[in-house]
Amino acid sequence: MSVFSSGGRPRALAIAVGSATVLASGILTALHAQSLHHSPASSHPATMNTASIAPLIETQNAFAAVASQVTPAVVSIHIEGTRPASQRMQMPDMPDLRQFGFPDMGIPFGGQRGGKPADQVVHASGSGFIVSKDGLILTNNHVVADANKVTVILSDRREFDAKVVGRDPTTDVAVIKIDGEDLPTVPLGNDETARVGDWVLAIGNPLGLDFTVTQGIVSAKGRGGLAGLYDSPYAVVDFIQTDAPINPGNSGGPLVNVRGEVVGMNAAIASPTGTYAGYGFAIPVTLVQDVMNQIVKYGHVRRGVLGLQLAEVTQKDALSDKLAQGGVPQIRGALVAEFPKDVSSPAKAAGITKGDIIVNANGHDIDHVATLQRVIRSQRPGDVVSLTLIRQGTERTVQVKLAEAPAEESPKVAAR
């Protein structure tokens, strides 16, 4: 995806905007000085009551404390690698900013070799966070997927060579390791207790601006259906949405609550340009932690799957499937859309059919596809899951023995 158009015009525009800001600042300063010189003392605003701004100062101090506590455990990740010409692409979170005079930010590039496209040489950057004092680091899979060499830089400017311990494309989580002792760490929290409206901070290295802190709120939970973000039918898509500004280079960095605990790993943005446009997405820390534990213990991730593709339930679906007659008055659940064509489906074998609406899994009411994913992702291959579904106004309960998701799939938004 090309984020900025090529040529000199965008650069000239960017410089012009910057210059205009400086000029405007100078004019405002001059006018302000002039007004102070000529205005009578009686026109000065009254001194603000300290008590009235105390809550603002308390909030400001809380943000500063969290930033100071967490930033030392955040790292800047730089990779060198190659990508086959057949997989040539512009990483969605790493736009080419060299034309604007920015440093190399994670831009895959390559030329022609003998008239044929050459493999791309990749120089990319992203973020991560340290979770063990001996150097275990969490980041996004897409940050290190093409890496031949990984370099980690700490906020105190120390540099380490890192190795990739393991990565999982279906969740976009990777674990890397540096050799260190008594390194700063950040605690992992619980995204399930995070509420829409809670304050959060995003910390990372956007656009080459290392160790930047931005603030916002949790603006939604259980966000799925981000079409085109992943390529695998076995991807787990259950994002925390935030309006804390994140940009290319933030990928893999932590989203933390006001207690300084990680509630998510920043992974993607919704934007027509490839830079911040109001909405960012973080992988829930409970999922990140589960993937990390499996990678550290087994070297890979084993995931149970139902063997079906799901869609969100619409009003039309609810009416056609007589959801209310089945005892579910709200429009909710996960609609069975398709079954995989190339592999067997445990769900189909258990009697689930296309058009069924799954409304409960293992005792958990299902409101969205992401909710069902959250239940299934905690299970392992061979586990039996109890699903309650509505089919033409009739409630049914089936037991499904989960199959194992194929290893090393490329990510794609789809539900299981």
Of the candidates 202, 203, 243, the residue with the CA atom closest to the CA atom of residue 220: 243
Please report, as a single letter, which amino acid is at residue 385. Answer: V
| Helix, strand and coil in the chain, % to nearest 5 | 25, 30, 40
Q: Does 172 participate in catalysis according to the annotation?
A: yes
203 close to 177: Cβ distance less than 8 angstroms: no
Please report, as a single letter, which amino acid is at residue 154. Answer: L
Q: Find the catalytic residue in 142, 271, 321, 368.
A: 142
Q: Find the catalytic residue in 76, 127, 251, 271.
A: 251
Angle among Cα 82, 203, 282 to the nearest 5 degrees reads 70
| Residue indicated by tokens 């340290």 | 130
Q: Does 251 participate in catalysis according to the annotation?
A: yes
Of the candidates 237, 235, 244, 178, the residue with the CA atom closest to the CA atom of residue 214: 244
264 close to 257: Cβ distance less than 8 angstroms: no
318 close to 324: Cβ distance less than 8 angstroms: yes
Q: Find the catalytic residue in 172, 238, 243, 356.
A: 172
Q: Does 367 participate in catalysis according to the annotation?
A: no
Read off the DSSP letter of residue 342. Answer: S
Query: Helix, strand or coil for residue 39?
Result: coil
Of the candidates 392, 410, 403, 409, the residue with the CA atom closest to the CA atom of residue 319: 392
What spatial distance separates the first Cα and last Cα of the chain, rounded to whole Å? 28
Rounded-to-integer distance, Cα 240 and Cα 219, Å:
8
Rounded-to-integer distance, Cα 260 and Cα 395, Å:
44
Chain CA centroid to CA 380, Å: 24
Return the structure tokens found at 105: 């930010």
295 close to 144: Cβ distance less than 8 angstroms: no
Looking at the annotation, which residues are catalytic?
142, 172, 251
